[in-house]
């Protein structure tokens, strides 16, 4: 359950704070493949195009988050995380989205250590996502090539 779910279910807030200070790997899959394929209507060429657009943009957004953290700029931090979350959601990127949501729940001014630790988790999840998407796009490209032979 999410921290908010535990709180409503009678969990204590101190446990929730401890979880935010020491983030662990999100519990979901890297990508919900079925959902992603539905989003692109099982179109291999469209999947490859989406992945090709996502990869450089993800790097830019991650840099923007990192820079906002370094500058302690809460507005840019929130905006960049919101954008990343939308990107992850549209790609059915479960674990990266979970990490971004955990990070968005943190207060940059009040919880800089938790933000830094969660950024490290988000960075790992984004790297795993990129690798997974590159593999999916390669598989889609191979399937498209064999279909035309």
Percentage of residues of the chain with pLDDT beyond 90? 72
Grade residue 23 by pLDDT with cuts at 50, 70 and 90.
low
CA–centroid distance for 94 within its chain: 7
Average pLDDT value over all residues in the chain: 83
**Other beta carbons within 10 Å of 112:** 13
Q: What is the pLDDT of residue 13?
A: 30
95 touches 25 (CB < 8 A) = yes
Q: What is the pLDDT of residue 28?
A: 77
Overall average pLDDT of the 64-87 stretch: 96
115 touches 68 (CB < 8 A) = no
Overall average pLDDT of the 12-18 stretch: 37
Q: What is the pLDDT of residue 139?
A: 83
Give the global pTM.
Answer: 0.77
Residue 7 predicted with pLDDT over 90: no
Residue in this structure with the two tokens 């933000």, named with its chain if needed = 115
Q: What is the pLDDT of residue 66?
A: 97
Dihedral angle computed from the Cα positions of residues 120, 100, 47 and 56, in that order, rounded to the nearest 10 degrees:
-50
């Amino acid at each position: 359950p999410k921290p908010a779910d535990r709180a409503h279910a009678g969990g204590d807030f101190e446990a929730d704070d401890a979880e935010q200070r020491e983030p662990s790997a999100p519990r979901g899959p890297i990508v919900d493949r079925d959902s992603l394929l539905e989003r692109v209507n099982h179109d291999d060429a469209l999947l490859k195009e989406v992945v090709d657009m996502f990869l450089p943009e993800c790097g830019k957004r991650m840099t923007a988050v990192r820079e906002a953290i370094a500058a302690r700029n809460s507005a840019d931090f929130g905006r960049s995380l919101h954008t990343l979350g939308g990107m992850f959601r549209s790609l059915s990127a479960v674990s990266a989205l979970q990490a971004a949501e955990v990070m968005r729940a943190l207060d940059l001014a009040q919880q800089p250590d938790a933000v830094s630790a969660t950024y490290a988790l988000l960075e790992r999840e984004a790297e795993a996502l990129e690798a997974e998407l590159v593999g999916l796009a390669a598989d889609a490209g191979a399937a498209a090539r064999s279909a035309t032979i």
